[in-house]
Chains A and B, each alone.
Chain A
């Protein structure tokens, strides 16, 4: 029996893949009632928006409305949208709000800096999760910001643990996590696709091949997670002397299988850092933002062009151009 222990309200800025996946997971876990969830997006035509509506989530085009209705606020928009969102909702953040950014490469300090124009001690956390939260097998890590308390971390951990594995890390590890488990499902999908190709080549029907490939990976992962043994030992246990498996493994080693995977994790991590660096350094022109998105954001009541950093010379990320003075 799953008990809905959450009395808090959860909001999502952004109603795309991530928000949809998380809500589906939370719903399956029964950890929070969907009436307590609000999501906002300027684009109401997205399939994920319709999916969220079907789940019973309150949908709005107003980020401000989401903020006012939430205690825990997930920032589930693309990294380059984050600064716009922060400028827009900054004035509406209250003491109770726990801001959880899921944007790859966006640092806690950059978010805190933005929000500190409006409040002295914004509670910010950063998390990196992955799409299998949708089936409650997510891999999530989170880092705690300057003004977030231990209880805030525990709160987030409880919520995310309902949809998979969740643990706290130092923020500087999050890029590596992105490379490993953030991108990880894509590696797995590619692997299963290729394994299925192998099966099909050797005579299996495609559907069966995909099913068996996915089941093999899932079963192996389950064995490993349940075992104290090193994966190398588990691998040995499968390889009978002179048998089929050891022959196949040799082929894999010859193809540099291991180093490919190491390279992939490294590439994803490095790219994440690059994107963050670019975000910190560059000015992004309005052309880089989807025009429709920007227009819709600008149409929101209470949103002024200056307030979201649109200047004739381009948009500067993370720079303060608000007429409000800094509070101390």
Chain B
């Protein structure tokens, strides 16, 4: 019957199309989850390294292999709103001693980064809410490490070192 044949052909093509969609959707998920993703940044907290409306590439391998290091710029889920992401620099890892008092304070206060956490600060210290206000951030909230700036084109390439001098020296 002609009607039955056509129905079977359309069904076959639809299922084939769905199969390809599922397969490529899964490959895309694996790429974004395990290789890297593109992130559009907004806000002034990482100036001058990253300005608002820059697009960067954040790679996921370092986070999954637990190889994030001091001085890396990371994208992390905000501790106070899991739907929002924050982009900050890692200043200290677990066990490091962070100086939490300002440069103008007389009495210096220190804090140790607990196990399983990191201390994040923006490069624009004057205009950044970071670990100095909300404390150390669990390592597992980190999504990826920013490794390449993609937009604007005249600033394409790797990102600069920290301009703030706040990164904790190795304590042996």
B partners with A: no
Q: Which residues of A contact B (CB under 8 A)?
A: none
Q: Which residues of B contact A (CB under 8 A)?
A: none
